[in-house]
Amino acid sequence: MGGRGKHSLSVRQLLAVRGVSSELAKRIQDTDVDGNGEISIEELVVVLQREQNATQNIRVLRKLVLLLAVSLIVLIAATAGVTYGTFFYS
């Protein structure tokens, strides 16, 4: 295992795994923040926290889009109802 610390992963070995996509390879390289060729536990924790925050943000955005879509449907229905009522009762 060479000079690697007990709690780190070699970027070179991770990139050598068969089937690693270019997107995953980029993410692995980006995880090695200090550029020493190893991914420490601390670097991994930071990335995992960032991913968790991104997942939570996506969930919030999905809920917001759904709320806006429902609001738009209600607004269209209300407008149609007022228009129908104006013409029907006048």
User: Does 3 reside within a domain?
Assistant: no
4/34: higher pLDDT: 34
User: Does 78 reside within a domain?
Assistant: yes
With a CB cutoff of 8 Å and minimum separation 6, the contacts of 24 are: none
What pLDDT, in 10s, does the model give residues 32-87?
A: 989 899 999 889 888 889 989 999 999 999 999 999 999 999 999 999 999 988 88
Distances (CA, A) of 65 to 9, 49, 54: 39, 24, 16
- pLDDT score, position 5: 52
The Cα 28–Cα 15 span in angstroms is 8
User: Does 68 reside within a domain?
Assistant: yes
pTM for the predicted model, two decimal places: 0.58
Indicate whether 6 pLDDT > 70.
no
- pLDDT score, position 58: 96
User: Does 28 reside within a domain?
Assistant: yes
User: Does 74 reside within a domain?
Assistant: yes
* Domain that includes residue 42, residue range: 8-88
The total number of structural domains in the chain stands at 1
User: Does 2 reside within a domain?
Assistant: no
- pLDDT score, position 1: 39
Q: Which two tokens stand for residue 24?
A: 């995953």
